[in-house]
Amino acid sequence: MNHLISSKQLNLGYGNQIVITNLNLEIDIAKNYFVIGKNGAGKSTLLNFLSNNFEGNIFNSNFELNSKVSILETGVEQNLINELTLKENFEFFTNGIFNLNIHNNIVEKYKLNHFLNDRYSIFSSGMKKRSELVLIEINEPDFLCIDEPLNFLDTEGVKLLKELLIKRTNNKKGNLIASQQLLDIFNDDFKVINLDEIQ
């Protein structure tokens, strides 16, 4: 099964309010996607649903979701633990596979090698975002979901993100980016899911 999800009628919301209505969707785990839409269109809702982090309600829906795919989601809010050092976070969020002898080149690439023993809480927003990119490279999920990917990234950080997405694409690992508009972050190989068109 190459699909992450196949739906002919997906309805998602919170309480009695439906946010996404009658969404027909097919997502291949080896392809790239842009989810675009204005604020409130349901971009974060869809990402949370696809990555099994959805805490809302699924209304009358017809869909198949592939539970065997490893998915990593990173969003606007930080995902790592403030009370831990960067190294401890890497160990925790890689289930103990982080090994500096093996992964030091990745950490150095994101210019975080001098901060491994520092508490994550003192990091700038840009350093926190780079830390998440390191985890993506180490964990190598089958499918990656990123909400507003350019938040807190400087020019060099954006370049590193683009290189990471190209590498994943070449390795047949899919990526889904959510933003209010299309971004120059993929090559030409992507599909667009416009949530404004289904409102």
Domains identified in the chain, total number: 2
pLDDT at position 67 is 87
Distance CA 188, CA 170 (A): 13
pLDDT at position 199 is 57
DSSP code of residue 184: T
Domain with 194 in it:
3-70+141-198
Distance CA 96, CA 129 (A): 21
φ, ψ for residue 119, nearest 5 deg:
-65, 135
**In sequence order, which residues have a C-beta less than 8 Å from that of residue 5 and are 6 or more positions away?**
25, 26, 27, 50, 63, 64, 65, 66
Closest CA to 47 of 166, 177, 193: 177
φ, ψ for residue 89, nearest 5 deg:
-65, -45
Q: What is the DSSP string of 54-80?
A: --SEE-S-EEEE-TTS-EEEE-SS--S
pLDDT at position 18 is 92
Q: Confirm if 112 and 130 have CB atoms less than 8 A apart.
A: yes
Q: Confirm if 50 and 5 have CB atoms less than 8 A apart.
A: yes
pLDDT at position 192 is 93
31 occurs within a structural domain = yes
The model's pTM is 0.91
Whether residues 156 and 123 fall in one domain: no
What is the mean pLDDT, run by run of 10 residues, along the chain of 199 residues? 88 93 94 92 93 91 91 87 97 96 97 97 95 97 94 93 94 94 82 85
| Alpha helices, DSSP H, located in 33-124 | 43-50, 86-93, 100-109
pLDDT at position 46 is 94
Q: Which two tokens stand for residue 16?
A: 């009695």
Whether residues 63 and 86 fall in one domain: no
pLDDT at position 78 is 79
Whether residues 145 and 173 fall in one domain: yes
50 occurs within a structural domain = yes
**CATH number of the domain enclosing 186:** 3.40.50.300
- Of 135, 154, 172, which residue constitutes the final position of a domain? 135
pLDDT at position 170 is 93
Whether residues 29 and 55 fall in one domain: yes
User: 57-58 and 71-74: which strand pairing?
Assistant: unpaired
Q: E strand or H helix at 169, and its extent?
A: helix 155-170
Whether residues 172 and 187 fall in one domain: yes
**In sequence order, which residues have a C-beta less than 8 Å from that of residue 199 and are 6 or more positions away?**
21, 41
Polymer length of the chain: 199
pLDDT at position 1 is 55
75 occurs within a structural domain = no
Closest CA to 149 of 138, 167, 137, 165: 165
